[in-house]
Amino acid sequence: MSEISLAQQKFLLTQKKHRRTVTISRMCIFLCFLGLWEGAVRLQFIDSFFFSSPSRVVLCAYNMAADHSLFGHIGITLFETITSFALVLIFALIITIILWFNKKISETMEPYLVILNSLPKSALAPLLIVWLGANYKTIIITGMSVAIFGSILSLYTSFQSVDPEKIKLIQTLGGTNYHVLTKVVLPACIPSFFSIMKVNIGLCLVGVIIGEFIASRQGLGYLIIYGSQVFKLDWVIMSIVILCLLAWGLYSLLSRLEKGYQKRMS
């Protein structure tokens, strides 16, 4: 190993200290929050019937895990989210490629895409349920409806931002539009494809939960809405916590994929 100068050592040390402080502070906030919450309930400052408490949430999760009902709910929500996410990616890619190949189609479709994208998608969910029935397919489509239009628009923008000189290069090498797509546009758009994925995994989850609110007998969205109706706030809060963990887990999975790709490219 090469020698590290004193100044560099000092710099590294301060960096390490800084990171440690941040980590500890984060933990502190989390623990204080849990402590205050639990304490406030125990001392009856707030009513555990409405506010639940950390220990009750854990207990509730433990009981539901013991009778396996919890895994069913998590599983179905996860399945619906991942399916709608995968379908969004596939359809967004196919549609964007079609738009990219044909300027007439893309210009014709543009205002529709923009309007559909700015529409609050939760407004569509009740309609979808009436049309398609209350089943998991409807929920998957609700999830897709939240993410697909934005994905197409951002993907199309990144297709458009490919350097025209690079496209000219392919033409000088005798390539056709198909080569421009496969040799330049798609590889050049992989980084933006990753960031689009990271945004949209969260949106799919939102869509799925909206769908489950109104059309499901299963899943975390159902637990939340049902729990709030029968005043089982333990269920509601537990589901929210699990949703947080799910969203974080899915996001970091994609981050890891992205890092892996970046590493392979350097």
Partner 1 sequence: MEKLMEISHVSYSYHSMQGETPALSNINFTVHKGDFLAIVGPSGCGKSTLLSLLAGLIEPEHGSILLYGQKLFQKTSGTIGYMLQHDHLFEWRTIEKNVLLGLEIQKKLTPVAREKVYDMLKTYGLYKFKNARPSQLSGGMRQRAALIRTLALEPELLLLDEPFSALDYQTRLTVGDDIGSIIKKEQKTAILVTHDLSEAVSLGNRILVLGKRPATIKSVVDISFPENISPLERRNLPEFKDYFNKIWKELNHDE
Binding site for partner 1 (CB under 8 A): 163, 165-166, 168-175, 179, 183-184, 187-188, 190, 265-266
CB of 59 to partner 1, least distance (A): 52
Contact yes or no for 77/212 (Cβ under 8 A): yes
Nearer to partner 1, 168 or 256 (CB): 168
Nearer to partner 1, 137 or 179 (CB): 179
CB of 174 to partner 1, least distance (A): 4
CB of 177 to partner 1, least distance (A): 12
CB of 190 to partner 1, least distance (A): 7
CA distance 28 to 69: 33
Contact yes or no for 128/138 (Cβ under 8 A): yes
Which token pair is 59?
């207990």
Nearer to partner 1, 43 or 265 (CB): 265
CA distance 156 to 112: 14
Nearer to partner 1, 68 or 264 (CB): 264
Nearer to partner 1, 125 or 162 (CB): 162
CB of 166 to partner 1, least distance (A): 5
Torsion 179-185-191-196 (CA) sign? negative
Q: What is the DSSP letter of 176?
A: -
CA distance 90 to 140: 14
Interior/surface letters 194-221, b for 16+ CB within 10 angstroms, e for the rest = bebbbebbbbbbbbbbbbbbbbbebbbb
Nearer to partner 1, 67 or 165 (CB): 165
User: Residue 170 CB: number of other CB atoms within 10 A?
Assistant: 19
Picking from 94, 104, 234, the residue whose alpha carbon sits closest to that of residue 152 is 94
CA distance 225 to 214: 8
CB of 189 to partner 1, least distance (A): 11
CB of 263 to partner 1, least distance (A): 12
Nearer to partner 1, 84 or 158 (CB): 158
